[in-house]
Amino acid sequence: MKVFINKRIPQIGIDILKENNLEIITQETEHPTYQEWLENCKKADVLLSVGGKNKYDKAFFDACPDIKAIALFSVGFDQVDIAEATKRKIPIGNTPDVLSRATSDVAFLLMQMVSRKANYNIEKVKSGNWKDFDALEELGQELYGKTLGVFGLGRIGFEMAEKCKAAFGMNIIYHNRSHNEQAEKELDAKYVSFDELTQQSDIISIHANYTPEQADIFNKSVFEKMKKNAIFINTARGGFHNETDLLEALKSGKIWGAGLDVTNPEPMDKTNPLLQLPNVCVLPHIGSATIEARNGMAKLASENIVAFSKDEKMPTIVNPKVYD
């Protein structure tokens, strides 16, 4: 069975595939064109897909009819048309849990960076603009006892809420497709409507799975309802927020600040006006970028492929209906 890996991954993943006698195809060119990438997909039975840019939709599956399974090197699966894959009985694996700590750490980091304008202050030092002590300059806000609103309280959202409660005694509210009983029991988290979430939170952190129906759900009318001291954190997908509306809300002081690990598009252009604002911190999608998380992701993705090659169910499958 031939496995195409489109980008480099930690060795642990390669070793697992080799130990199971799977043939590996790699991308010869560093920045392949769409056609070069597609040619390799056509040669493979299974894809180990790294990075969220390749779309796996009807057109892709029509172009690559021999693809039998895809193991994503990510927890997010928004680049796959799951209904189409399921219709074609193509199992899609993802990498949950192993990156929950790392990703929630980045949300927690961004929240603190923005609350103390750390990003802006670092620039100040670097550019030689650190002047005399001023009791009224660059004041941040403390996070103790504030309300964290989690949009999408799954594994990553739970970790973020747990950290915020332990570190700052924050109250947790959340909006989700369904109730998270563990969070309600262990963190005293309260389920609220989307409107209540946006109106009551001091910090809003997004941890949901992205679907096109949720495009721009954080937009002008939502930013207008948020508290003036609100900090908006997005470590999930850039499509959740409307960037123009966010920029406007930040510039006009409708909200306090924003911390983004994801943008739309990615990478963000270096001339983006958001990068000029003192109350914004942008990171280059590093949520899962730790040695531990990336090794875990490589292991899970390869184990999904090995299971598939043995006619077994993928251990972490997005569309279990393929096995019905």
Sign of CA dihedral 37, 40, 42, 48: negative
- Using CB under 6 A as the binding rule, whether residue 239 contacts ligand DGY is answered as no
| Catalytic residue, candidates 175, 207, 241, 285 | 285
Select from 22, 64, 76, 150 the one that contacts ligand DGY (CB under 6 A).
Answer: 76
Mark whether 285 is an active-site residue: yes
d(CA 244, CA 36): 34
* Residue reference for tokens 């961004």: 110
Closest to ligand DGY by CB, 95 vs 176, is 95
- Using CB under 6 A as the binding rule, whether residue 52 contacts ligand DGY is answered as yes
CA–chain centroid gap for 211, Å, is: 12
Select from 67, 75, 206, 250 the one that contacts ligand DGY (CB under 6 A).
Answer: 75
> Among all residues, whose Cβ is closest to ligand DGY?
76
d(CA 230, CA 40): 46
Select from 14, 99, 109, 143 the one that contacts ligand DGY (CB under 6 A).
Answer: 99
The DSSP element (H or E) to which 258 belongs, if any, is strand 257-260
- Per-residue x/- marks for ligand DGY, 301-320, CB under 6 A? --------------------
- Token reading at 187: 């963190």
Number of residues that bind ligand DGY (CB under 6 A): 7
- Using CB under 6 A as the binding rule, whether residue 263 contacts ligand DGY is answered as no
- Per-residue x/- marks for ligand DGY, 7-46, CB under 6 A? ----------------------------------------
Please write down the long-range contacts of 289-294, taking CB distance under 8 Å and 24 or more positions apart.
289/102, 290/102, 290/105, 292/98, 292/101, 292/102, 293/98, 293/99, 293/101, 293/102, 293/103, 294/9, 294/10
d(CA 93, CA 72): 6
Provide the annotated active-site residues: 237, 266, 285
Binding residues for ligand DGY (CB under 6 A): 52, 74-76, 99, 287-288
